[in-house]
Structure 1
Amino acid sequence: MLFKKRKMKLINNKIALIFGLTICAYGSVNAQTSHKKKIDGVVAVVGDYVVLDSDIDKTFIELQARGVETKDIPRCEMLGKLLEDKLYAHQAVQDSIVVSDGEVNEFMNSQLDQMVEQVGSIEKVIQLYNKKNLEDFKTTFFDVVKMNKLTEQMQRKILEDVEITPEEVRIFFNKIPKEELPVFGAEMEVAQIVVKPVVSQAQKQKAIDKLKEIKKEVQEGASFFSRAVIYTDDKASIPNGGYYKLTKKTQFVKEFKDVAFSLQEGEISEPFETEFGYHIIYLEKIRGQELDVRHILITPKVTDEALKDAKTKIENIRKRIVDGQITFAEAAKAYSDEKETRNSGGVLVNPRTLETRFELTKMDPSLYSEVADLKDNAVSLPLMDQEQNGNKKYKLITVTHRYEEHTADFATDYLKIKDLALKEKQIKAVAKWSEEKIKETYIKINGEYRDCKFTNNWLKK
């Protein structure tokens, strides 16, 4: 199985390098201070960019912080990756690809928000990175983030026109020796029906009234920060007093952004509804196209009676399916409260592959535990689940199809084979681009690294 173990691994590893292995400026809290005693120097130059010896060390630390095993990665290979990143960034500038300061700052602020959520405060983040203050932190990482953004955009530009035809997929598959065809693991397709308890109008009004009361207190001098810490159901924003930086590109629900961008600086909105519950927003500061906002979320509570009614409803649905009065797919379309799946008969989409199949060895553990003992077309007993907003719901699960481990078949596994064929074509496109750009770009490798055996012709021999 040489092809399965080596060639497929090579394709996937190379494409991971193309897309995923950009240097993350936020992976390791000690990346800036771990090698103080080491004499640093320029080991390579690519166009307008330099690579320092310490950059290689930092990259190893970053990968280790992200859980990547690095003991078998030679320094020459790591330098090769850094040279690729510099070449992408250099060529992006030559091709007039623009990354605005605002885009860089937006990304940095998003990363900061995530780190604050993890460690508790922005002061702790600054302390962990051994910086004097927030300005020092941002100054340190601004150029790194900008280069990574240029790299990403250049990569996308190279690959945006790379497409694969059915005939190319067929040729790719037919070139694989029969004894070296990849083996795909056991998979299954899963469907579900969701019944959510009905939130009473009284509970909704209770949330609205509480938000109006908080708004009045703030207008009379109370701290919005402290009220958010005490009352918000948005746990992620509690440490920051409900604070978020917001642009029109920020991945928030439309209703939230619409209200935020309708406010004047210093204004507090009326209570409004999203899928998460009811909110008020305080617009703290307008910075061009960026807003500093604070919000408070109150999720209407589901009563025990409503939860009981939901369980009764889903038990009746299950009985009708088991008795043969209605199929699972028909019941999903008629009764499921999950709009994302009901029109497909409840069939779930694998978020990792965007296909309907779930490979058992890579399935989310919570989902696997729910379906592991189910026979084909059997319907689970009602299972209690919890939504992002904390409200409980009931669901039924069934396994609609099961695929045992098998050698790749062109018809059955066409989408997987197409993906492998496309990745191989992308690798060739990147290799061709790199070969051409290396020839026309100023590149210099210094010292012991001139003895490296690079995949690309960085030494221009």
Structure 2
Amino acid sequence: MHWMLLLLLLCVPAAQAQSLTNDAVLDEIVAVVGDKLILRSEVDGLLLSFLQQQQQPYSDELWLEALNQLIDQKVLAEHARRDTTIQVSDDRVNQALEERLNQLMQQVGGQARLEALYGKTLTQLKAELREDFREQMLAETFRNRKLQQIHITPSEVRAWFAQFPADSLPTLPDLVRLSHIVRYPRPSEAARQEAFEIATAIRDSIISGRSSLEAMARRFSEDPGSASAGGHIPDTRLGDLVPEFAAVASRIPIGEISQPFETPFGVHILRVNRRQGDVIDFHHILIRIDDSQADPAPVLAYLKAVRDSILTYNLPFGLMARRHSEEASTGPQGGRVVDPRTGERDLVRSALDPTWQRTIDTLQVGEISHPAEAVLLDGRRAYHIVRLDAFIPAHRVGLETDYARIEQLALQDKRNRVMRQWLNELRRSVVIWLHGKAKTLAERYPHKILIPTLAQR
């Protein structure tokens, strides 16, 4: 079974997977693009990702769409190889491959689980997959070069928008654009000491052999992502951990239980099970520091001073956010708040936490709030000053109010059309053959295979 199919089967509902696994062991060649083969298991693997993401039932038409995507990739890679100006270095390929395998190991429960599922060592998997990744990167580079050449004019945007009847256009709710400067309250020394004492007592119990780290993690750890798994976090890059945690994890001897140490999340004890380059497999226990009794006065005074400086000396808000905000996701971006799911700056006002809404209600556009308490997106309690950058009342979508949004949608539609025409032209100069299931379904649904001069046999 192809590696992609094997891994995707782990996270797709059985009812959806069944129609693809009945004869997955008997793999077959379903297409040849130039001198490159496409296996049925490759198409099945890509289709399973469609089913998982889109929550759709299996259909032959969807199977052909997956085949089309793989044909496109092979065609793009073939043309990229012919273009001597496109090069993909071994370092780039190896880095991309490492990142993908690390993601997969996290999904399936670590390196040992991945190796057991596929029946190959990690080194063998890398050797098998390296050229697949090189081909994907060649295709993506060639595709992006074409995409960057596609632009749209204002007249094209207006013409695209005019296709939609006015009474069919949606109404958007109140939207806001915000920037803020965040400071966290400092827990009391007594609260810090209490957390360290709890962590120390847990460590002593583990070291003495009275209990295991796994059992103590299930009972006491306050990390919701790992407590139920006995504190286990599979292969993770050191760069993805907060610096305080990474510093301990990078130097502690394998198998040893660390002394309690503090990070922004609380107090930890840690055991590294395996370290391979900058990837570690570990268990940990987190004891949070109670900040419910933290004195907000120092933070409020700090934020008031920052606000006064901005207003008195006309200092740029973005500059002050980069200097003084403690929120890692917004401070370096000048305090700009975005929807973490979409990256959009336009936020639905009613979807914000009530602490934010109460602050926004006091502001006119361009004004900066007084320091106020807030519940941040990660659930942490903090204090901030907020600038209301824009307020867009509820309205029906229109060019005057939503031009940037409409422009992006129109550009995406144009890119889809131009890229499809371009890919069809590229396919004319690459020999493509269909076999087996692909040939049978292409004859049944000829409109689904977009190959203008397809030779089938």
- Mapping of 1:162-173 within 5 angstroms? 164=148, 169=151, 172-173=153-154
Deviates more, 1:42-51 or 1:367-376: 367-376
How many angstroms apart in 1 are the aligned matches of 2:238 and 2:79? 26
SS of the aligned residue for 2:197 comes to helix
**Map of 1:16 onto structure 2:** none
Question: What CA distance in whole angstroms lies between the structure 1 residues aligned with 2:418 and 2:98?
Answer: 34
Which is further off, 426-435 or 74-83?
426-435
Check whether the contact 2:81–2:138 (CA below 8 A) recurs between aligned residues. no
Q: Is residue 196 of structure 2 the alignment partner of residue 208 of structure 1?
A: yes
1:349 is matched with which residue?
Answer: 338
Change (3 A) 1:381 1:272: closer
| Match 1:238 to one of 227, 235, 259 | 227
Residues 1:272 and 1:153: Cα distance change in structure 2 (over 3 Å): farther
Distance 1:112 1:357, change over 3 A: same
> Which residue pairs with 1:7 in the alignment?
none
1:226 partner SS: helix
| Residue 448 of structure 2 is aligned to residue 448 of structure 1 | no
**Residue 137 (structure 2) pairs with residue 109 (structure 1):** no
Moved more, 363-372 or 216-225: 363-372
Give the Cα–Cα distance (whole angstroms) in 2 for the partners of residues 161 and 249 of structure 1: 33
* Partners of 2:179 and 2:388 within 8 A in 1: yes
Out of 255, 258, 263, the residue aligned to residue 252 of structure 2 is 263
Q: CA–CA distance in 1 between the matches of 2:275 and 2:159?
A: 63
Q: Deviations over 1:172-221 (max 9, x none)?
A: 33334547358897443134565543211222233233333433433333
Q: Is 1:28 equivalent to 2:12 in the alignment?
A: yes
Alignment CA distance shift 1:364-1:138 (3 Å): farther
Task: Call closer, same or farther: CA 1:366–1:27 in 2, change over 3 Å.
Answer: farther
1:387–1:393 CA contact under 8 A, matched in 2: no
Asked whether the equivalents of residues 104 and 145 of structure 1 are also in contact (C-alpha less than 8 Å), the reply is no
SS at match of 1:304: coil
Any residues of structure 2 matched to 1:414-425 within 5 Å, and which? 417=407, 421=411, 424=414
Cα distance, 1:108 vs structure 2 = 1.5
Tell me the equivalent position of 2:71: 83
Q: Is the Cα contact below 8 Å between 2:187 and 2:295 reproduced in 1?
A: yes
Q: 2:398 is matched by which residue type in structure 1?
A: T
CA contact (8 A) 1:172 1:421 kept: no
Structure 2 letter corresponding to 1:158: F
Are 1:459 and 2:454 counterparts? yes
Q: How far does residue 366 in structure 1 lie from its aligned partner after superposition?
A: 4.1
Q: Which residue of 2 aligns with 1:278?
A: 267
Identify the residue that residue 4 of structure 2 maps to in structure 1. none
Residues 1:82 and 1:253: Cα distance change in structure 2 (over 3 Å): same
Secondary structure at the residue paired with 1:174? helix
For 1:158, what is the secondary structure of its paired residue? helix
Q: CA 1:195 to 1:107, structure 2 compared with 1: closer, same or farther past 3 Å?
A: closer
Given the two structures, how large is their TM-score scaled by the length of structure 1? Answer: 0.65
Q: Establish whether residue 65 from structure 1 lines up as the match of residue 65 from structure 2.
A: no
Look up the match of 2:3.
none
| Distance in 2 between residues matched to 1:386 and 1:175, nearest whole Å | 40
Instruction: Indicate how the Cα distance of structure 1 residues 259 and 45 shifts in structure 2: closer, same or farther if over 3 A, else same.
Output: same
Q: Which deviates further from its counterpart, 236-245 or 136-145?
A: 136-145
**1:335-346 matched pairs, under 5 angstroms:** 338=327, 341=330
The alignment's TM-score, normalised by the length of structure 2, stands at: 0.65
Change (3 A) 1:153 1:430: farther
Provide closer, same or farther for how the CA distance between residues 92 and 387 of structure 1 changes in structure 2, counting only shifts above 3 A.
Answer: same
**Does the aligned pair in 1 maintain the 2:427–2:451 contact within 8 Å?**
no
Query: What is aligned with 1:74?
Result: 61
| Residue aligning to 1:377 | 364
Within 1, Cα distance between the matches of 2:354 and 2:453? Answer: 47
Q: In 2 relative to 1, CA 429–50 (structure 1 residues): closer, same or farther, beyond 3 Å? A: closer
Q: Count the aligned residue pairs.
A: 407
How do 1:244-259 and structure 2 match up within 5 A?
244-246=233-235, 248=237, 251-259=240-248
C-alpha separation in 1, matches of 2:159 and 2:17: 50
* Shift of residue 236, structure 1, vs aligned partner: 0.7
- Residue 454 of structure 2 aligns to a residue in which SS? coil
For residue 74 of structure 1, report the CA deviation from its aligned partner: 2.7
Q: Does the CA-based 8 Å contact 1:49-1:90 persist in structure 2?
A: no
Shift of 1:105: 3.5
- 1:407 corresponds to: 398
CA distance in 2, matches of 1:42, 1:346: 53
Residues 1:401 and 1:202: Cα distance change in structure 2 (over 3 Å):
same
Would you say the 8 A contact 1:43–1:51 is kept in 2?
Answer: yes
Aligned partner of 1:189 in structure 2 is 177
Contact 1:266 1:282 in 2 (8 A): yes
Write the letter of the residue equivalent to 2:103.
F
Instruction: Pick from 117, 126, 134 the counterpart of residue 137 of structure 1.
Output: 117
The answer as to 2:233 corresponding to 1:218 is no
CA pair 295-429 structure 1, distance change in 2 beyond 3 A:
same
Letter of the 2:117 partner, please give it: F
| Matched-pair contact (CA < 8 Å) for 2:274–2:280 | yes
SS of residue in 2 equivalent to 1:239: helix
1:44 to 28, 31, 34: 31
User: Contact 1:272/1:279 (CA < 8 Å) preserved in 2?
Assistant: yes
Deviation at 1:330, TM superposition (A): 6.8
Partners of 1:155 and 1:367 lie apart in 2 by 43
Change (3 A) 1:391 1:55: closer
CA 352–302 in structure 1, closer or farther in 2 if over 3 Å, else same? closer
Task: Measure the CA separation in 2 of the matches of 1:61 and 1:413.
Answer: 37
Does residue 175 of structure 1 match 2:156? yes
Q: Check whether the contact 2:233–2:282 (CA below 8 A) recurs between aligned residues.
A: yes
Counterpart residue type for residue 408 of structure 1 = L
